Structure 1
Amino acid sequence: MSTSPDMSRRRLLFGGAAIGAGALLAGCTSNETKDSAPQTNVKDANAASAAPGKPVTIAFSAPAADHGWIGAITANAKAQAAKFSDVTLKVIDAGKDAPAQIAALETVIASKPDAIVMLPQDGAQLTAIGKKAMDAGIIVINLDREFTDAAASFSLIKGDNYGMGVAAGHYIGEKLKGKTDAVIGEIPGIDELQLTKDRSKGFADTLKTYGLTVKHRVAAGFTVQTGQSAAANLLQAAPKLDAVWNHDDDQGVGVLAAIQQAGRKEFFMVGGAGSRDAMDHIKAGDTVLTATVTYPPSMASSAIILARLAAQGNGMSDLVELQVPKMIVLQSETITKDNVDKYLPLGFKS
């Protein structure tokens, strides 16, 4: 991110399934200590390509968090690497901002690992270091926050940010069909990030097909605290609302707290990520939250698999091509009360 508060993010998973087709969830949160260890979902090492091969060293770097989406990202990477006897995983402290992550990765590059799996603090700012690693012959798997130059990575795996906005827009559009004067609010995460811009564009483009627009928009910062303050400001600016899309279920903890404190119930809300907290509320029907759209931290498990395959010169066994794909985009799905039971086991704790 351009400005780098301590940001966490989402969690859910479905390791191997994430690589093949539409996977699952995501979000963002503050870095408060939680009692329970992050849940992980990984692919068992039972495929043909999982037979022990050339030993490889994979460096992994992502913003720090002990829970939420980012917590799940790191927990997944560690758990997936542990499934392979031929993988040595070196987890690299990403520091508090992009310059700190760059400095750490400079040292990593000098140690010449076989691959680096990197979730950048900010994709644009980390592009040059990704390119430097690739030029040094190190395979780089770009995770989630996209570099600005495709040559900076061997492969990219990410969620469908534009698709999240599309999914949220369709859910709200269908619920408000024909109500062209509806008042819709939006609470994004960090506006400087490209992923936020993509989500908002998908949302706006889809609402437009229903004759709807966002009337009130206040950005948060992927934390509980910023979610609460952004929601409080939005509610103050909008005495009446019909629907709200909050981009991130982790910051949604604060959003829901602000809504409850204000005593507002006249609208419904859609979340983003697929946290267990959000799904519990959807199932219970005890808040304005009636749906969430997914963004899968299982991508970290898949990124480790891709890094190992590429470092060993292998492709994906179900594809004809000899190398792993240059890009994998995971689909965003909509969780409602009708299908929440199917997704509950995959939810992550905000």
Structure 2
Amino acid sequence: MFLHYRRNLMPAGAGASLKSVTLALALSVAGLGMANTASAEEVIVGLVTKTEVNPFFVKMRQAAEEQAKAKGVKLIARAGKFDGDNEGQVSAIEDLISAGAKGILVTPNNSSGMLTIIKKARDAGVLVIALDTATDPADAVDATFATDNFEAGVQQGAYARKAMGDKAPIVAMLDGTPGGTVDTFRHDGYLKGFGIAEGDPAIAGAAITNGAQDKGQIGMENLLSKNGDINAVYTINEPAAAGAYAALKSFGKESDVMLTSIDGGCAGVRDVKDGKIAATVMQFPYKMAAMGVDAVAEYAASGKKPSGFVNTGSFLITDKPVDGIDSKDTAWGLENCWGD
């Protein structure tokens, strides 16, 4: 009776008009639902690197972008303003959590300085994977995809010592950024491979470079000013090695020092080919990034999470091989390097 009564109150033609309005409203609501579904289904992968300018991280970002496109997910890349900018990375992860990232790939500037924000992300259901640099403790993240940096340091040190022959070593250590596992592992690995311990009289001194060329040059100049007999130089990466070479050349010692490094960028491999660096240990940032994007896409699709440490590999690159140490030449290095 009520429905009949209501229909009788409607003016002629109003029924058709109401049906049209109702249909339009239904379509509008359906459209909103579709938009919300599309938005909800969009998988966001966050990438937070130490800097935007280091060729290693540039390649990592490029690889992540390519893999995200292949997987049909959206990549949001952020970075610290400089190597060591822990606060900048924390802020970037905050933003990615707010943006609804399904997974975050991070190369932490400080291995223990990001534990709180990483826990916040994981508590929110975000998959967090460390790339290149492990956290401390390692299980603060779901998984780590990285070079075995200790082993890379061992490779560098073992080559340097054997290539020096019978020379009594006087070693300079050009370190990266204190507080990062990469810096610690490579430093300690080099000493082990070289066959000396921390505090050994053979170590002439150390300098902090933050992995930068200008600081590598300044640090090397300062160390040479204190001890002109330095004949072996450990460097945290190839930009620092390029700075060290410039300093050695300015002192006229570029041919007298066993300068080695770690990275595998094309510029560094060319420096090995040109005789500026005796050897470098190549790592694979593009592999780390691609594997990370794949893992987030898999997590979004199935809920499956990676775990533990995954070694993405390393190779010693030199054109002056020594017996007993595996290496590849710069021709191979230039085919597999990254950066310009």
2:107 & 2:243 partners in 1: Cα distance?
25
Which residue in 1 is equivalent to 2:142? Answer: 154
Q: How does 1:210-229 map to 2 (within 5 A)?
A: 213-229=202-218
Which residue in 1 is equivalent to 2:333? Answer: 343
Over residues 224-256 of structure 1, what are the superposed CA-to-partner deviations in whole Å (9 max), with x where a residue is unaligned? 110110111122222223322222102222221
Over 3 Å counting, the alpha-carbon distance change for 1:305 and 1:255 in structure 2 is same
Which residue in 2 is equivalent to 1:36? Answer: none
Q: How does 1:171-250 map to 2 (within 5 A)?
A: 171-179=159-167, 181-208=168-195, 213-250=202-239
Return the match for 1:333 from 293, 315, 319: 315
Q: Is 1:123 the counterpart of 2:111 in the alignment?
A: yes
1:234 & 1:140 partners in 2: Cα distance?
40
- Structure 2 counterpart of 1:68, one-letter code: P
- Give the deviation of 1:257 after TM superposition: 1.3
Q: Is 1:282 the counterpart of 2:269 in the alignment?
A: no
Which residue in 2 is equivalent to 1:165? Answer: 153
- Give the deviation of 1:105 after TM superposition: 2.1
- Structure 1 counterpart of 2:234, one-letter code: W
Which residue in 1 is equivalent to 2:243? Answer: 254
Aligned partners of 1:187 and 1:244 also within 8 Å: yes
2:283 & 2:272 partners in 1: Cα distance?
17
Q: Is 1:294 the counterpart of 2:276 in the alignment?
A: no
Which residue in 2 is equivalent to 1:10? Answer: none
Which residue in 2 is equivalent to 1:89? Answer: 75
Return the match for 2:45 from 42, 58, 72: 58
Which residue in 1 is equivalent to 2:7? Answer: none
Q: Secondary structure at the match of 1:272?
A: strand
Q: How does 1:261-272 map to 2 (within 5 A)?
A: 261-264=250-253, 265-272=255-262
Over residues 44-76 of structure 1, what are the superposed CA-to-partner deviations in whole Å (9 max), with x where a residue is unaligned? xxxxxxxxxx75221222233245212222222
1:242 & 1:149 partners in 2: Cα distance?
36
Aligned partners of 1:72 and 1:348 also within 8 Å: yes
Over 3 Å counting, the alpha-carbon distance change for 1:141 and 1:166 in structure 2 is same
Over 3 Å counting, the alpha-carbon distance change for 1:311 and 1:154 in structure 2 is farther
2:184 & 2:54 partners in 1: Cα distance?
25
2:166 & 2:201 partners in 1: Cα distance?
9
1:334 & 1:214 partners in 2: Cα distance?
23
1:308 & 1:207 partners in 2: Cα distance?
41
Over 3 Å counting, the alpha-carbon distance change for 1:66 and 1:75 in structure 2 is farther
1:249 & 1:234 partners in 2: Cα distance?
18
Q: How does 1:106-117 map to 2 (within 5 A)?
A: 106-117=94-105
- Give the deviation of 1:176 after TM superposition: 2.9
Over residues 183-205 of structure 1, what are the superposed CA-to-partner deviations in whole Å (9 max), with x where a residue is unaligned? 22221212332321211111112
Over residues 120-167 of structure 1, what are the superposed CA-to-partner deviations in whole Å (9 max), with x where a residue is unaligned? 232211111111111111111122222224453221112222112100
Over 3 Å counting, the alpha-carbon distance change for 1:204 and 1:213 in structure 2 is farther
1:93 & 1:189 partners in 2: Cα distance?
18
Extract structure 1 runs of 4+ deviating beyond 4 A: 93-96, 209-213
2:91 & 2:54 partners in 1: Cα distance?
25
Over 3 Å counting, the alpha-carbon distance change for 1:121 and 1:201 in structure 2 is closer
Q: Secondary structure at the match of 1:125?
A: coil
Structure number with greater Rg is 2
Over 3 Å counting, the alpha-carbon distance change for 1:150 and 1:134 in structure 2 is farther
Q: Percent identity?
A: 21
Structure 2: gaps (5+ residues): 1-40, 321-328
2:78 & 2:267 partners in 1: Cα distance?
29
Q: Is 1:311 the counterpart of 2:300 in the alignment?
A: yes
Aligned partners of 2:266 and 2:339 also within 8 Å: yes
2:67 & 2:49 partners in 1: Cα distance?
15
- Give the deviation of 1:336 after TM superposition: 0.4
- Give the deviation of 1:213 after TM superposition: 4.3
Over the residues paired in the alignment, what is the CA RMSD in angstroms? 2.5
2:227 & 2:281 partners in 1: Cα distance?
24
Q: Secondary structure at the match of 2:208?
A: coil
Aligned partners of 1:132 and 1:152 also within 8 Å: no
Aligned partners of 1:204 and 1:214 also within 8 Å: no
Q: Which stretch shows the higher mean deviation, 253-262 or 97-106?
A: 97-106
Q: Secondary structure at the match of 2:98?
A: helix
Over 3 Å counting, the alpha-carbon distance change for 1:281 and 1:101 in structure 2 is closer
- Structure 2 counterpart of 1:231, one-letter code: M
- Give the deviation of 1:273 after TM superposition: 0.7
